Chains A and B, each alone.
Chain A
């Protein structure tokens, strides 16, 4: 119940295309859903995050779509660029803002954007 399932494991997209990464969770106590971007040899960097009171959040080319009833959320990268090539992790945490529980990470998706 604590797991966050992420797919696909790897993704190849042409420059200018849309990259879509999906995550699913079971624990209904989760109320904070961030996405992290990690380049090789570097720590993860927060990309965008959403709370369950909204169904979509957009920041530049990055959009999170959230489906509370299906317990799924996804990251869309519009107009994908070679510089977006990295590993992306979704995560979830319960009780955000309160006695927040720890982040539970998905297994990651390696994105390669071909020029």
Chain B
């Protein structure tokens, strides 16, 4: 199957700092990318959907000014958690969907905010 990478795989930061997470589709062009958040022992919660070159669509309850999403190319999307706080600590997972319709997930990024 297609490969989606995320970087970094884990990050620890101080409260108040910003953290950027990259999501790349390595061997296909992703018309749409998704960002999910997963708390321990829970399901994936969709945060936002982004299409290349346009603004992301955020799910209800997700602060767009706090979670900045950029989808500058068909193979790269970034999520920036601004002014991170301990409650933002979570497992962030991206996925990418190509023209075939199937969605492929990245390996996730563990964010810990101290």
A-B contact count (CB 8 A): 46
Please list the residues of chain A having a beta carbon within 8 angstroms of any beta carbon in chain B: 32, 34, 36, 41-46, 49, 89, 96-97, 100, 102-103, 105-108, 110
Q: List 10 A-B contacts (CB under 8 A).
A: A32-B101, A41-B91, A43-B6, A43-B95, A43-B106, A43-B107, A46-B105, A105-B44, A108-B43, A110-B41
Known contacts: A46-B102, A96-B101. The answer to whether A106 contacts B110 by CB under 8 A is no
Please list the residues of chain B having a beta carbon within 8 angstroms of any beta carbon in chain A: 1, 4, 6, 34, 41-44, 46, 49, 91, 93, 95, 97, 101-108, 110
- Majority secondary structure, A binding face: loop
- Majority secondary structure, B binding face: strand
Verify A44–B93 contact, CB threshold 8 A. Answer: yes
> Distance (Å) between the CB of B5 and the closest chain A CB?
10
Q: How far is the CA of A93 from the CA of B34 in the complex (A)?
A: 14
Verify A105–B43 contact, CB threshold 8 A. Answer: yes
Verify B42–A42 contact, CB threshold 8 A. Answer: no
**CB-CB nearest 8 A-B residue pairs:** A43-B105, A43-B108, A43-B107, A107-B43, A44-B105, A105-B43, A97-B101, A43-B93
